Structure 1
Amino acid sequence: MASITIRNLDDDIKTRLRVRAAEHHRSMEEEVRIILRDAVTGRRTGPRNLATFTRECFASLGGVELELPPRGPMRAPPDFS
C-alpha cells in the first residue's frame, strides 16, 4: 500500500479532523482514508435524504404510533363577496 504525507496542514483543519474521527470512533488516519476514498470515487457515506437521516438519528429511541384523526368531508370554501 502507498503512503502519503501532508505538510503545512492548518491546525484548525487537523483539530476538526481529529474531532470528526472521534465522532465516528475511528483513528485520524482511518478517517482520512475514508474521506479520500469517498472523494475520489464520488461516494457519500452519509444519509441520502432527510427522512433517512432523521430515522437513523431517532431509531435508538424507539418508534411512536400516532393516532390519526378520522377524515371528514371538506368544508365549504369561504365566501369573500
Structure 2
Amino acid sequence: GTHRVALCAFTFPNGMTIPVGTMVTLPLSAVHTDGAAYSNPEEFDSLCFSKLCEKEGDVLATKCKAVCLSPESLFFGLGRHAW
C-alpha cells in the first residue's frame, strides 16, 4: 500500500481525527480489486485500461490511463504530493 505520515492534524467530516505523526496506509490491493470500480478485478487483463477508454469513448479520460492520478488508479498516490 501507500504509506504517509500526517504532518498536521486532520479531522474528517465524521469527526475522526488523525493526529500529527500518525502513519496512514491505503490498502491499494483492496482499492484495485473493487468490483465497483473495475469489471472482473480479480482477472488479469493487460488491456483493461485500453478497453475502458474504448467503452468511455474518450482516450484522453484520466481514469483510462494506466499511469494517472485519480481515485481509480492510486499506485502513484493522489493529491498535491503525488508523482
TM bin, normalised by shorter chain, reads under 0.3
Mark the structure with the bigger radius of gyration.
1
Higher share of residues assigned strand: 2
Q: Which has the higher contact order (CA 8 A, sep 6+)?
A: 2
TM-score (norm 1): 0.22
TM-score (norm 2): 0.22
